[in-house]
Structure 1
Amino acid sequence: MTNTPPVRARALILVLALLAAFPPLATDMYLPAFSGIEAHLGAAPGDLEFSLAVFFLGLGIGQLIIGPSIDRLGRRGPLIAGVVIYCAASILIPTVDDVAAFTALRFVQAIGASAGMVVGRAVLSDLYSGREAARAMTVLVMTMTLGPIVSPLAGSLLTSVLPWQSVFLAMFAVGLAALALTLAIVPETLPPSRRVTISPIGLARRYAGLLARFEFILPLTVASLIQAAMFAFITASSSVLMGVFGLSRIAFGVAFGIVALALVVGGQINHRLLRHTAIHHLLDRGLPLFVLAGALLLAVSGTSHLAVLIVPVWLAVACVGALSANAMSLAMATTRGAAGTGSAVLGAVQFSLAFLCSTLVGAAIDTPVRALALGVFVPALLAALLWFAGRLTSAGRASAFEAR
């Protein structure tokens, strides 16, 4: 890292993690409120699942907008603007009374929430390289996973005593706190001498150049497929846990938090292994375990016992926590001089796949357990096949992978 003092560095990562946690907070916290929102808005079955998919789409588009901006304007300005947009949308959502307006504001909220994700990755890329980048990314991912652990239970507690609007008011409060911390702690890590002004044609060429790099597109796609499995669980969780297994709102929050805890466990294991194991070796060993967990989930998808179902879900989510940061750090390591644009492409592809996976799972919500199982197994299998196929090529054996 640069000469940033260790205490300051830890504080910076914590703030970046809070900012990167906006998306899981904005998705997981309102899951227990689905029934109340549907009743208030007169929504049809599947409408709120679609609003969740639209949120993922907004995260992808937002990163495409913000990524080039932070390479041109620096990191802090676009980040602060994104947090302000997130706060504004969060305070407006409780005022709506129809599904269309709700979904539109969720899209805007996602645009703002995307800033923390893309800037966080770019800042870490500015400050770290190699295994240190992967370890820093793992700490970021582990810390931000407190959002998925805490937010469903928080949403459950809020909606058990207050109307659904309280969930979005809580998001607004968290956004204000994050804005204050950003202003106080997050530095500008891209000096003016390294900023670039790019025309639309130049930007298109930069995007095309990144997408033409095998060493970028392979880990990018693998990381996106790994994350898609997590989004399948998020989308189906309310219908599976409350709809199929009849959990109360509070029990749903607890069960969701237990599953989300697997992200922290997987991330912690990965963080320790990175001290003495190369990143590509961890992916070589972890992806088959990920596929196995998905296959087990598919095999037990007809069970009537929640404990039987939760075990393979937990294992699959642990694999997400262990593997996603590694693949992301490999991709970001190839974007020197264009970290913002690279982070934007990574986020756009990731959440485009999330949008697709979430939409497909939502469309099959009449068989939610089966939809969840396929939503985990298929991305895991595709990620593994793509990774090992890429590793067999001459480009896949390039020193860009072997050195990390």
Structure 2
Amino acid sequence: MCLCLGNVIIGYSLCWSVPVIPKLIDPAQTPLDEALTVDQCSWLAAIFHLGVITGSQTGAFLSNIVGRKPTLILFGALCLSSHIIRVSARNFTTLFVGRIINGLGAGGISSGNLVYIGEIASSDLRGIILTATGVLHTLGSLLVFSVGPYVSYAVVEYTVIALGTVHAAALFFIVESPVYHVIRGNEDAARNTLHFLGRSKDVDKELKTMIENVKQRNIQYTQLNSKHRLLKCTWFDIFRRRRNRRALMITATLLTIQEGSGIICIMSFATTIFRKAASSVNANVATIALGVTQVFGILLAPLLVERYGRKSLLIFSTAACAFWAALLGADFYLELINHPLLSSIRWIPLATLISFLICYNAVKYSFKFLINIY
């Protein structure tokens, strides 16, 4: 529960630009000294993801050095500080810096939560809890979609500051991961943590499994000068072995398709898209409908995967995403040339984006299964 609030904040931060950008462009609503341009708002939406990339890698590195708990506290504090910077911002530069720090914090929390939950949860609950983090992520997006359009910029920020304060304080009450204790060679501490987590019946078995997994994941035997030494795996090992290169090619292709689908653009500019497309549904209401669809889609995806299989669903859903994106593009083109047909199909933007999100969640869930296999 302490960790999952972080996923709500990540979802909130990811879609922060959706209700906020219209306020920043509008001279009557902006809290800044002057309204922002479209290009500046695009940078605010994009730079967050650069921070996420950096934060996730930095968090993974720090978690093995200082521990999972201190790393999560650090990135939780970064997220909280970013919201405080943003609410006090009076110019684009300050807002830009706050957005970068927000991305760093969100990236560290995202990767840290997955690792920590995977290491403290028992095997029969691990899958359910990890799935729940995705649901809470979409609930965070739904929260900012629902609140953001109807309150001031300051209230949007104060809402996430309140969530961030509770999250940062709650992280002090979690225990260090037993796997980290094993990595540091402190098996007694790992044993005590397992007892604390209520897994006393299988402590010896769990501890043995953790020790074996740590060895398999972080250490390999390499022959050097006819002597056997223990070396930590590096990024170069991905390219040295043929099977690793194949797995990298497959997963990189899948993830490129997933991220290249335009999902980040859609979720960052949903309200703007509906306004530009002249949808028959109010732009704010349509955006909330997208948030609800996201929650529904992430709950539906596991059922579809189990029923139709990973590969088949992946092919169908990817093709469907392309179709719905093309249909939305056609609607924009009709708007551009002011075609008379447009007046009778004002419902197209909302319908296409809802369909796109449902298919995208199926794609995303299929990717997770296939990437784990490869």
Q: So what's the TM-score if we normalise by structure 2?
A: 0.71
Question: Which amino acid is 2:164 matched to?
Answer: G
* Alpha-carbon shift at residue 12 of structure 1 (Å): 6.6
Are the counterparts in 2 of residues 51 and 106 from structure 1 also a CA contact under 8 Å?
yes
Q: SS where residue 43 of structure 2 aligns?
A: helix
Q: Does 1:266 align with 2:297?
A: yes
Are the counterparts in 2 of residues 89 and 106 from structure 1 also a CA contact under 8 Å?
yes
Q: State the identity %.
A: 14
1:214 equivalent in structure 2: 246
Separation of aligned partners in 1, 2:177 and 2:233:
26
Output one character per residue of 1:216-259: Cα deviation in whole Å (capped at 9) or x when no partner.
453355235424522111333243233553899xx433211211
* Alpha-carbon shift at residue 264 of structure 1 (Å): 2.0
Separation of aligned partners in 1, 2:232 and 2:18:
34
Over the aligned positions, Cα root-mean-square deviation in angstroms equals 3.5
Are the counterparts in 2 of residues 30 and 152 from structure 1 also a CA contact under 8 Å?
no
Output one character per residue of 1:314-339: Cα deviation in whole Å (capped at 9) or x when no partner.
111112222213323543x3xxxxxx
Q: Does 1:242 align with 2:275?
A: yes
Within 5 Å, give how 1:4-403 maps onto structure 2. 11=1, 14-15=4-5, 17-24=7-14, 26-28=16-18, 30-34=20-24, 35=26, 36-37=29-30, 40-126=33-119, 136-159=129-152, 164-184=153-173, 188=177, 190-194=179-183, 206-210=234-238, 213-216=245-248, 218-223=250-255, 225-228=257-260, 229-243=262-276, 245=278, 251-275=282-306, 278-301=309-332, 302-303=334-335, 304=342, 305-331=345-371, 333=372, 400-401=373-374
* Alpha-carbon shift at residue 100 of structure 1 (Å): 1.7
Q: SS where residue 145 of structure 1 aligns?
A: helix
1:345 equivalent in structure 2: none
Separation of aligned partners in 2, 1:111 and 1:44:
24
1:358 equivalent in structure 2: none
Are the counterparts in 1 of residues 22 and 272 from structure 2 also a CA contact under 8 Å?
no
Question: Which amino acid is 1:118 matched to?
Answer: S
Question: Which amino acid is 1:99 matched to?
Answer: F
Separation of aligned partners in 2, 1:139 and 1:153:
21
Question: Which amino acid is 2:355 matched to?
Answer: L
Farther-moved stretch of structure 1 (219-228 vs 266-275) = 219-228
Change (3 A) 1:22 1:150: closer
Separation of aligned partners in 1, 2:144 and 2:77:
21
Are the counterparts in 2 of residues 32 and 252 from structure 1 also a CA contact under 8 Å?
no
* Alpha-carbon shift at residue 175 of structure 1 (Å): 0.7
Q: So what's the TM-score if we normalise by structure 1?
A: 0.66
Q: SS where residue 73 of structure 1 aligns?
A: coil
Q: What 5-or-longer segments of structure 1 have no aligned partner?
A: 1-10, 334-399
Larger Rg: 2
* Alpha-carbon shift at residue 312 of structure 1 (Å): 1.2
Separation of aligned partners in 2, 1:296 and 1:131:
42
Output one character per residue of 1:67-97: Cα deviation in whole Å (capped at 9) or x when no partner.
2222333322111110101111211222222
Separation of aligned partners in 1, 2:304 and 2:280:
37
1:391 equivalent in structure 2: none
**Structure with greater contact order relative to length (CA < 8 Å, sep ≥ 6):** 1
Change (3 A) 1:91 1:184: same
Are the counterparts in 1 of residues 9 and 160 from structure 2 also a CA contact under 8 Å?
no
Change (3 A) 1:154 1:83: same
Output one character per residue of 1:114-136: Cα deviation in whole Å (capped at 9) or x when no partner.
22211123235446899987665
* Alpha-carbon shift at residue 158 of structure 1 (Å): 1.5
Farther-moved stretch of structure 1 (293-302 vs 131-140) = 131-140
Q: What 5-or-longer segments of structure 2 have no aligned partner?
A: 185-213, 219-230, 336-341
Change (3 A) 1:207 1:28: farther
Change (3 A) 1:105 1:19: closer
Question: Which amino acid is 2:347 matched to?
Answer: A
Separation of aligned partners in 2, 1:22 and 1:221:
28
Q: SS where residue 37 of structure 1 aligns?
A: coil
Output one character per residue of 1:103-156: Cα deviation in whole Å (capped at 9) or x when no partner.
122111211122221112323544689998766544322231012222122111
